[in-house]
Chains A and B, each alone.
Chain A
Amino acid sequence: MNFFDLFGTWLAAGLTVAILSFLYRDNPLYKFAEHIYVGASAAFWVVIFWYSDVKPMLIDRALDPQYPLGEKLILLIPTIFGIMMLLRWFPKVAWISRWPIAFTVGMAAGLALTATVQGYIVPQIKATLFPVVVITKDPLISLWRSLMNIFVIFGVFTTILYFYFSKEHTGLLKVGSRIGIIFIMVGFGASFGYTIMARISLLIGRIYFLLHSWLGVID
C-alpha cells in the first residue's frame, strides 16, 4: 500500500468514525466531518452538473460548427431560462426568475399525468382484473387460489376506498376504509422489515471497511 492509499484509508476511516460519533451526541468531530461532507459534496455536484449538463449539452453544441443551426436556436430557450433564474441575484429584477419556475412546475405537472397513467394506473388496473374463481384439477389448490383472488380484489377495493376524499368516512365507507388502512399497514410492515435488512447490510459493509481495510483485524 503506497502513501496515498494509506492516507486515503485513514482519512475515510477517520471521517466514518467522526460521522458515527453522532450516535453518541453532537460533537466537534461530527461537526467537522459534517461541514466537510456538505461542502465537498455541494462542490462535487457543481462539477458533475457542469461536465454532464452545461458543457456537453449547451456550450459544446453551441460552439460545434457541425451542429444544425435550427437545433442551436432551440438551445437559446434553456439558455434564456437559465439567465432568468440567475437574475435572482439582482433584487430589482428578481421577479423574472418566477417565469422559469412556473415553466418547470407546469411542465412537471403535465408530464406526470401521462407518466402516472402509463407507469402505474393502467398496469395496476390490469394486474387486478381477474376472475374470482380459479378451477384446477386439484380442488384444494382451486379453493386456495380463489380465496387469494378474493383477498386481492377486496384489499385493492378497500385501499382505494381509504383514498376517497369526496365523502365523509361514515357508515359502510368508514368500515371499508378502516379495512383498507389495515391492508396498507400490513404492506408497510413488510416493506419496513425488508428495508431494515438492506440497511443492516450497508452497516455491515461499513464495519467491514473499518475492521478489514483500516484496522486489518479481519480478512
Chain B
Amino acid sequence: MLWVIIIGLLPPGGVKAFDTPSDGGGSVTIRWELSPSETLSQFLGYRILRGESEAGPFEEVGYVIKGRGEYQDRSTEDGKSYYYLVVGVAVGDSVASSVVGPVISSAQWFNANRLNVLIFTFLISLFVLLYIRRAKRERLFIRKIPGLDAIEDAVGRSTEMGRPILYSFGLGLLSDVVTIASLSILSRVAKKAAEYGTRLIVPNYDPLVMTAAQETVKQAFTEAGRPDLYNEGDITFLTQDQFGYAAGVDGIIVREKPGTCFWQGYFFAESLILAETGHSVGAIQIAGTIAVTQLPFFIAACDYVLIGEEMYAASAYLRPEPQMVGSLKGEDIAKALIMALIIFSALWGTVGVLLNQWMGSSTLLDAFHSFVNWFTVGE
C-alpha cells in the first residue's frame, strides 16, 4: 500500500477503441498497453468506463484482471458514438487513461474470421453440383451398404408373420438432415409394405415430421398401386416429450407386436428403451442414426445398424436420383481431399520439426503452424 502511495500508479497507455471487426454489430473492442504498475503486488486490474460524450459522465461497462490488455464491450447500440477510458485499479488507488473516441459500432456483411468455412462450403458445394450434373448424364457407382438387403427381408418377414412394421424417426425434427434422409428410407419401406400388403405404423414425436411422413407413405402406397391400404391413422403424433414418446412407442410395440422395427433418425437416451422393447417382442430391428452416443446401444440391441453417413448413402442408394447420388459423390471427393490434406500436413509438420531440431531452421515449422492456425474458426 505504502509503495503505491509513494510512487503513484501509472495508467495503461496506448488505449484504442474501435468497432469490433467481422461481427454482427453491437460491439466495440478496447485495447491498451499494460500499465507499468502491474509489477506491483497491489495492482488488481482494469475497469473499462464508457460515456456518450468526451466530457462524460462515464459508467463502468466491464472489468478485467491484470495481465489482460483487451476488452469487448458487447452492449453498444449501433450508430451511436461512445467514448472510453481504462482505469488501472490497485488496492486503495486507481488511475485513469486519457479518453478515447468517438467510436461507433456497426455490423459487417462479411466475417473474415470464417473465411475458411466459406472456402470449404464453396468447395463441397462445387463438388456436389458438378457430380449432380454428371449423375444426370450417366449412372454413377455407389457401393452397396450392408443392411440394405435386410430392409426387404425384414418387410417380407413381417408379412409372413402377419405382424405390422413399426417405423420411428426418433426425436428428429424436419429441420434435421437425418430426418430428411430417413424419409427416403421410409419411402422405400412403405413401398415394399404396400406391395406385400403389410400394415405400417409410424408414431411421431414432431407434428411436422408426422405430416411429411403421411405424405411420403401416401405417395409410396399410391406408387405401389395400393392407395386403398393407406391408413392415415397409422401415422400418428404421440407427444413432444422425450420419455413420454418412448413410453408411447413401447406401449405400441407390446400391444401391436411388430415383426420389424425401423429406428431411423435422430435418437437420444430413449434409444435403448425402444430397441430393447422391440427385441423383447422378437422383432427384427434395423437402426440408423448419426447420434454418436446412441449408436453403441443400437449396435448392442439391433440386428442391423446404419452408422452415421451410411444413412445418407442408404437413402441415395435406395432412391438413385441425380441429386442424391451427386451429393454423395461430391462428399466422397471432399473426404478424399481431407485424407490427402491430413497426410500432407503430417509430412510437412514432421519435416519442419526435424529441420528445426537438426539444422535449427524454424521457417518450415513456422509456416506449418500458420497453415494449421488458418483452420481456426473465428467467432
Q: Which of B215, B241, B313, B377 contacts A41 (CB 8 A)?
A: B241
Residue of B nearest to A195 (CB): B293
* Chain A 113-144 near chain B by CB (<8 Å), digits 1 or 0: 11001100111011011111111000000000
For B293, what are the chain A residues with a Cβ–Cβ distance below 8 Å?
191, 195
Please judge, given known A-B contacts A45-B241, A163-B310, A191-B292, whether A132 and B211 are in contact too, CB under 8 Å: no
A122 close to B120 (CB less than 8 A): yes
Per-residue CB contact flags for chain B residues 320-344 toward chain A (1 = under 8 Å, else 0) read 0000000011001001101101110
Neighbour of B377 across the interface among A122, A129, A160, CB < 8 A = A122
Interface centre among B140, B339, B341 (most CB of A within 10 A): B339
Name the residue of chain A whose CB is nearest to the CB of B338: A125
From B124, B254, B329, B342, give the contact of A153 (CB < 8 A): B342
Selected from B243, B300, B336, B375, the residue in CB contact (under 8 A) with A126 is B375
- The interface residues of chain B, by DSSP majority, are classed as helix
* Majority-rule SS of A interface residues: helix
Chain A residues positioned under 8 Å from B341 (CB to CB): 125, 129
Flag if A160 contacts B339 (CB, 8 Å). yes
Contacts A133-B354, A163-B308 given; indicate if A117 touches B143 (C-beta within 8 A). Answer: no
Contacts A164-B332, A166-B329 hold; do A131 and B353 have CB atoms under 8 A apart?
yes
**A55 contacts the other chain (CB 8 A):** no
Considering only CB atoms, which chain B residue lies closest to A198 in the complex?
A: B269
B32 at the interface (CB under 8 A from A): no
Q: Is the CB of B114 within 8 A of A34?
A: no
Shortest C-beta distance, B289 to chain A (Å), equals 12
Pair B174/A121 contact, Cβ less than 8 Å? no
Known: A117-B117, A164-B332, A189-B296. A129 touches B208 (CB 8 A): no
A151 at the interface (CB under 8 A from B): no
* Chain B binder among A6-14, A97-105, A210-218: A97-105
| Interface check A197, CB cutoff 8 A | no
Residue from A26, A38, A112, A121 in contact with B177 in the complex, judged by beta carbons closer than 8 Å: A112
Question: Can you list 26 A-B contacts (CB < 8 A)?
Answer: A22-B250, A26-B251, A26-B255, A38-B239, A38-B244, A41-B239, A42-B239, A42-B241, A98-B215, A117-B117, A117-B121, A123-B377, A126-B372, A129-B342, A129-B349, A129-B375, A130-B346, A130-B349, A131-B350, A133-B353, A160-B335, A165-B145, A166-B140, A166-B141, A167-B143, A184-B307
Known A45-B241, A132-B346; judge A104-B174 contact (CB<8 A): yes
Taking a contact as CB atoms closer than 8 A, the residue among B143, B295, B313, B352 that contacts A168 in the complex is B143
Contact A188 B299 (CB under 8 A): yes
Please count the residue pairs between chain A and chain B whose beta carbons lie under 8 angstroms apart in the complex.
183
* Min CB gap A49→B, angstroms: 8
**Is A19 in contact with chain B by the CB < 8 A criterion?**
yes
How distant is B372 from chain A, measured CB to nearest CB, in Å? 5
Which residues of chain B are within 8 angstroms of A131 by Cβ–Cβ distance?
A: 346, 348-350, 352-353, 368
Given contacts A26-B254, A133-B354, 11 further A-B contacts (CB under 8 A): A101-B215, A109-B177, A113-B125, A122-B375, A129-B341, A131-B353, A131-B368, A132-B349, A133-B353, A166-B143, A184-B307
Instruction: Answer yes or no: A183 CB below 8 A from chain B CBs.
Output: no
A85 is an interface residue with CB less than 8 A from chain B: yes
Q: Which chain A residues lie closer than 8 Å to B310 at the CB level?
A: 163
Q: How many residues of B contact A (CB 8 A)?
A: 74
B303 at the binding interface (Cβ < 8 Å): no
Q: Are B247 and A19 in contact, CB atoms less than 8 angstroms apart?
A: yes
**A161-187 residues at the B interface, CB under 8 angstroms:** 161, 163-169, 184-185
Cβ-closest chain A residue relative to B376: A126
Residues of B within 8 A of A113 (CB): 121, 124-125
Whether B59 is near chain A, meaning CB under 8 Å from some CB there, is no
Contact with A along B170-193 (1 / 0, CB 8 A): 000011110010000000000000
B241 and A44 contact, CB distance less than 8 A: yes
A-B pairs, 8 with minimum CB distance: A131-B349, A41-B241, A41-B244, A126-B375, A192-B296, A108-B175, A42-B239, A188-B296
**Which residues in B have their C-beta under 8 angstroms from that of A164?**
332, 335-336
The 8 A CB mask of B105-127 against A (1 = contact, 0 = none) is 00000000010110011001100
B367 at the interface (CB under 8 A from A): no
Query: Which residues does chain A contribute within 8 Å of B353, judged by CB atoms?
Result: 131, 133-135
B297: which A residues are within 8 A, CB to CB? 192, 195
- Return the contact of A163 from the options B248, B255, B335 (Cβ within 8 A): B335
For residue B238, CB closer than 8 A to chain A, the reply is yes
In the complex, A105 Cα to B208 Cα: how many Å? 10
Q: Is B212 touching A101 in the complex (CB atoms < 8 A)?
A: yes
Distance between A197 CB and nearest chain B CB, rounded to angstroms: 13
**Closest Cβ of chain B: how far from A37's Cβ, in Å?**
5
Distance between Cα atoms of A132 and B353 in the complex (Å): 9
A209 beta carbon closer than 8 Å to chain B = no
Report A23 CB to chain B, min CB distance, Å: 10
Which residues in B have their C-beta under 8 angstroms from that of A121?
Answer: 120, 338
